[in-house]
Amino acid sequence: MPYYLSRIKIATDGPRGTVKWNSEQYLINAVSITHAETLINQEFSDAIIEFEVAGITQSKIVKIIDKTKTIEK
């Protein structure tokens, strides 16, 4: 499955009761852009924060190599 880069805007409380929007990026392993958006919405569905999917693009990342796992000898 390809990887997609999703840009999310998250609402936070700003000074004097204003709302400040912070941007975050998430890398998602999905079959399509629609699937990636569904996964993001599921991820944030239980959150109490207001968020907005600002955009999703297919990443050129082919594979994630995770070497943080303990290697048994």
Domain ranges, residue 18: 3-58
In this predicted structure, what is the pLDDT of residue 34?
95
Flag whether 71 is in a domain: no
Residue pLDDT, tens place only, 59-71: 999 888 888 766 6
SS3 content of the chain, % helix, strand, coil (to 5): 20, 40, 40
Total-model pTM: 0.77
Is the pLDDT at 31 greater than 90? The verdict is yes
CA distance 6 to 33: 9
* Location of structure tokens 């000898």: 73
Q: Which long-range contacts (CB under 8 A, 24 or more apart) does 17-21 make?
A: 19/50, 21/52
> pLDDT-derived band of residue 3, with 50, 70 and 90 as boundaries?
very high
Residues 6+ apart with CB under 8 A from 56: 4, 5, 6, 7, 28, 33, 36, 37, 40
Structural domains of the chain, count: 1
pLDDT of residue 48: 86
70 part of a folded domain: no
